[in-house]
Each structure stands twice: as structure tokens, then as C-alpha cells.
Structure 1
């Protein structure tokens, strides 16, 4: 009897990716051919789709060359899946080997890092912070930069820092300090400034200083830790220290030098800077208390400045003052 299936039927199995020999889902031709093979016992090789051969569901008939016989899927799975399972097993062996190798390097990395100083360290307690500052002072080689926001510094802080600062200056260390303009009316801070400038320290003031920080040379800094007055952050990260140095130097270039013998006198520049800062805050909608905290003045002093400016501009309300300031050109550079 002549066979009507001398040519392989069209196979449209869903393959992903396209070059895979084993499909994700069998095509209708494969299912129909396998059913016919089970019914007839064997089929000509040319009548069998390639996907059935790839799955080992039809294999060569040893007794009839050129024909294929069907085998149970369970039996076919050994031949079809064994190469895939071997590849997976090899990948697992490679994964375990890579993990073991990286673990050895992790140990080495940890050992080396333990010998290094941490880039950021939280210091808690005034005694701990004071000892850390003493260590920073003793290790300083060329320059100390410090910035102090607010008005005059507390007397106990000045007493604690004075011997340390004088010792540094007498060792030839350059010391530059930034304060806010309001420090010029604080007698205790001016006494401290008088003593350190006599030894070569340089002091300047600005309307505002963003935050308190100290930088020793260009490799160690101390900054407040969040809002906790009893904690500080010791910074050794080179990029962060360089950022603080640049921030300080830019502020220093804009600041006004302090001459202790003339500091109590409100120079026109200082008065202008203070009033400018207050006017900018008024335009921004800040309250007197918020302005005072930021520029180091009492709420009453801020109110007095605003009263004088209001009289000059003819303002009768805060809202009108903000409008007149914004449109008067007083804040133009």
C-alpha cells in the first residue's frame, strides 16, 4: 500500500526563542502525527515533524529502516530532558564555585576594612566629643576652619575652646572662624575674639551661617548630629570634607572682618547685611521668631528693625511691608 505521508507535515510549534529545537507547546501536526503513530505502530521518517524527533517521542525502528516507532512520553523524557538537566546541574556547580570564591574575597575585604578608620562616626556625649576635638587639634598640621551660627557663644564653650585654640595658633596653625553679625554685640565672644586675634586668628562675620562645623586641614571635620545637641558626626570621607572646605571658603569670601577694638560699633556694611537678611525673610513670609533664630537676633530686635523699615517705607501692616520691600528695589543687587 502506498503511503500518503512521504513528506514531513508542516510544524508550527510555539518556540521561544526561535532557534530552540524543543517547543514550548506542541503543534496540531505533532499531536495528530503522534496519535497516528500510536494507532498504526510506525510511520515513515518523512511523515514525522521535527519536534517529535527532538522530544524523542518517535525513534528509528531497528527492524524497519526508514520508519519511526512511537515511545511512551515517560520513556522519552529520559532522553529529552537528560541533556537539559545536565546543563542545569553544571550551572549549579558553577554557581556554587563562584559563591565560594567570592566568599573568600569577602573575608579579605572585611579584614582590610576593619583596619581602616570609618568615614563617618557618631560621637555621643560632651566628654567624648571634647576628646575627639582635642585629638583633631593635636593632629592638625596647617589650618582650622570653624563656623558658628547664632549669636554669642556660651561662656563655658568659649572657656573650653580658648586654650585649645591658643595652643594651635602658637604652633603656627592658621585659624579662620565665621560668626554671624550679631556676635559683634556679645561681650564674652568679643573678649575671646580679642585674645585669639592677638595670636593671629582671623575672624569674619556674615548675616547668616548655615550650620556649625569644624574642619582640620582638609581631611577631618566635625558636624552636629541631627538635632541632638549632645552628639556630633566625625567625618573622614574626603569628598564630604572637601565639600565643607569649599562651602567655608565661599562664605569666607563674602564675610566682613572683625576688628575687636571696633566690633561693638555697628558698621554700615553689617547693619545693611542684617536688614537685608530680615527683609528677605519678610518677603518669604517668615515670622519674627523664625527670623531671629536664623540670624541670631532676639525677637524684639527683629521687630525693632522691621519697625524702622516700616516707618521709612510708610507701611502700616506686615503684608504691606512685604509687598513694598519686594517692589521697592531694596533687595536688588
Structure 2
């Protein structure tokens, strides 16, 4: 409360003269208790020292402040007790996200999760053919799962259809009851166990770190993404293992053409599709010959403007 000049002047006058007529007092002087009325002189206001007035005015505020501090401390103590109960209960739950660092930690955790599968194992494996040593370990594990009645679905890229070790593995697990499909497009690696736990790589260098996910909403999101890709895939069955369907090549070619039009290099395309760089170069050369391109930049332009990506596959 900022005193006005009139109030200061009247207070000074009251101090000099000893009092003021009651009708001359300013409301702020009375509110600040700088002027008081004596019972024997109701028509006169007497000045009060500011230190005494301050004690009178500030005492209730200090008391209210102390009361609020006591209430705050009491509430903090109560919430601390409930917090301890909350943390103790949550500590018994599985963590929603766990970072796995190093190949051993990743493989051991994955093996335990997959072995614990009771109903369904979903796997998306980009990058083309898999190393032979990985296929040997996976075959034994997958056959055991399928024998227990676990449904297993796996997505690979089309390029595995020309990788004989991976194709031999697929033939055996399909015979045991697994379902395998392939897709030309680039997708992310994911393993989903019973729709309760999922594993994804932390970076493009997939062997260094992985994230174990048990948050229901995130696992549900990853499962739905898998299902969308699965619906667009081409099944791998006994016939397609022996004879590669023409749609596989046209699908792969169109994916390569899209990547060229987007300005990607042969090396980038090969890495994403799990192909050799030489195979990609063959596709690029054929496209250049068919469209009459004399440079990579012109080829990308012709692919984007010629309408070859808009027509039916073939």
C-alpha cells in the first residue's frame, strides 16, 4: 500500500499538533492503524508510532503465514508417505523400457523372451540374407517354438529369395508351420513376443544396443505396424521357393526406381534392400537403357516424370 501525499501530510500534522479531528482522517491512516480513537475522545484521532502500528497490522499476516507453512509441511509429509507406497508398489513391476547394451546382453535377453513365448512370435528382419551361423541357431529355436504350437510370422525383404542359406532355412521353418513373407520396401527390425514384449535396435548399427519394450501402448503400436506391412507382403511357399514369382522382381525394380528418383546412391539402395551393390548397378543400367538416360541425374528426372512408377507392376 503506497501512502499518498495527503496522508503523509495529515500524519505529520497530527504528530505536530498531537491529534486530528476525526472527520479529517484519511481511510488509509486508519487502515494502517497509524491513527487511533480513544474511548473518551471519539471525535479526535491520535497518531500512533509506525513501529507499533506495524506490529498490529502485520501480526495477523505473520500468523497466517505460519499457519500456511505448517499446512505445507503437513501436506508434504502426507505425500511423502503416499510416495513411498507408490514407489514400493511400482518397484515390483517390470520396467516399461530397458536398454540392452552389447551383443551378449541383447542375445541372452532375446533368447529368454523368445523361449518364453506361448502364443505368437512376430519378426521383421530387413537387410537381405542372414549369416549362416545365425540361421543355424534360429532354426533349432524356431522349430522348438513351432512344435509347442507358437504361431510364428516373419517378414524379410525380397532379396532373401536369392540367398540360398536363408532360403533353405525358410523352407524348413515353413514346413514346420511358420509363415514367411517378403517385401521390397525398407522396414525396421522388430521382434514381438506374445504382443507383450518388443525389441527394436537403438541405432542403425543394430548389434551394439537394443531397446526392450514392455509398455502396452508402444507394443500395440509396433504390432499394428507389423500387421500393416504383413498385409502388403508376398508369401513364401513351396512353389515360390522353387520359382521366384515375376511380381517379386517387378516389386524390387519399382522400389529401386523410387530410390533412384529420390537421389539415393547405389550403396544406400543396396544396404536398405539387402542386395549387393553390383545387383543394384544392373537395375540402374537397365533403367538407363530403357529410358535413354545419359546421367544419374537425368535418370532420376526421367523416372519421376515418365510415369513408369504410376503404371501397374511388370
Please name the residue that 2:32 is paired with: 55
Q: Distance in 2 between matches of 1:262 and 1:164?
A: 24
Please name the residue that 1:68 is paired with: 45
Q: Is the 8 A contact 1:179 1:209 kept in 2?
A: no
Change (3 A) 1:266 1:307: farther
Q: Distance in 2 between matches of 1:284 and 1:38?
A: 89
Instruction: Compute the displacement of 1:260 (Å).
Output: 4.7
TM-score by length of 1: 0.89
Q: Distance in 2 between matches of 1:270 and 1:123?
A: 36
Please name the residue that 2:82 is paired with: 105
SS at match of 1:233: strand
Please name the residue that 2:144 is paired with: 167
Q: Is the 8 A contact 2:171 2:241 kept in 1?
A: no
1:30 partnered with 2:7: yes
Instruction: Compute the displacement of 1:39 (Å).
Output: 1.7
Per-residue Cα deviation, 1:226-260 (whole angstroms, up to 9, x for no partner)? 34513221111001100111000000000011125
Q: Distance in 2 between matches of 1:104 and 1:277?
A: 59
1:325 partnered with 2:307: no
Q: Distance in 2 between matches of 1:122 and 1:96?
A: 38
SS at match of 1:65: strand
Please name the residue that 2:163 is paired with: 186
1:126 partnered with 2:97: no
Q: How does 1:1-333 map to 2 (within 5 A)?
A: 23=1, 25-226=2-203, 227=205, 229-260=207-238, 262-263=240-241, 265-332=243-310
SS at match of 1:327: helix
Q: Distance in 1 between matches of 2:237 and 2:206?
A: 33
Q: How many residues are matched?
A: 310
Q: Is the 8 A contact 1:235 1:241 kept in 2?
A: yes
Q: Distance in 2 between matches of 1:30 and 1:193?
A: 96
Per-residue Cα deviation, 1:174-229 (whole angstroms, up to 9, x for no partner)? 10000001111111101110110011101100012421111011111111123451
Q: Distance in 1 between matches of 2:209 and 2:262?
A: 32
Q: Distance in 2 between matches of 1:35 and 1:142?
A: 91
Per-residue Cα deviation, 1:8-38 (whole angstroms, up to 9, x for no partner)? xxxxxxxxxxxxxxx2x11222112211211
SS at match of 1:229: coil
Instruction: Compute the displacement of 1:63 (Å).
Output: 4.3
265-274 or 281-290, larger mean C-alpha shift: 265-274
SS at match of 1:35: helix
Q: Is the 8 A contact 2:154 2:179 kept in 1?
A: yes
Q: Distance in 2 between matches of 1:168 and 1:108?
A: 40
Instruction: Compute the displacement of 1:69 (Å).
Output: 0.8
Change (3 A) 1:148 1:270: same
SS at match of 2:154: strand
Q: Distance in 2 between matches of 1:186 and 1:179?
A: 11
SS at match of 2:122: strand
Q: Distance in 2 between matches of 1:44 and 1:228?
A: 90
SS at match of 1:331: coil
**Structure 1, gaps ≥5 residues long:** 1-22
73-82 or 267-276, larger mean C-alpha shift: 267-276
